[in-house]
Structure 1
Amino acid sequence: KLQKRIGTLTEEYNVRTAKLKQAAKLVNEAFEIRKKDEVEIDIGRFSQMQLSDSEHPRSLSGIFVYKNKS
């Protein structure tokens, strides 16, 4: 029974770690785009983004607000 519990906790930990890594990747990506395109990041929208369990996170485009609206 304990072994099963340890297995479950390990699995949970791995999922959370994967999500954190994914979040970090998104943040880095967001800042790269920001540097390139003169955009601001809408932190409110960013924090509400759902991290999917898949390898392909949702598009980042929704979190950017263009500074120079030409």
Structure 2
Amino acid sequence: MDTGKDYMSSGSDPKNVQDLTAFVQNLLQNMQDKFQGMSDQIINRIDDMGSRIDDLEKNIADLMTQAGVDDGRA
């Protein structure tokens, strides 16, 4: 009769568990790295969009000034 103790004492099981643990840790690290990369890209794009909006606002204000239109700012 095969007991749990016999199963746990088998030489290959701890190695398989260690291999599985290493695989899962590696997989999680890769996922974390990819999410960090995507997060960095999103933040960079948001910063770039903010700069473009600032430039657009400045250009509109300049055009309004050239056209002699008051932009309503005090």
The TM-score range, normalised by the shorter chain, is 0.5 to 0.7
Aligned-pair RMSD on alpha carbons? 1.2
- TM-score of the pair, normalised by structure 2: 0.51
Unaligned 5+ runs, structure 1? 42-70
The corresponding residue for 2:64 is 34
Larger radius of gyration: 2
Q: Which has the higher strand share?
A: 1
The corresponding residue for 2:38 is 8
- TM-score of the pair, normalised by structure 1: 0.53
Indicate the structure whose relative CO is greater, using CA pairs within 8 Å and at least 6 residues apart.
1
Identity of aligned residues (%): 12
Unaligned 5+ runs, structure 2? 1-30
Q: Number of aligned pairs?
A: 41
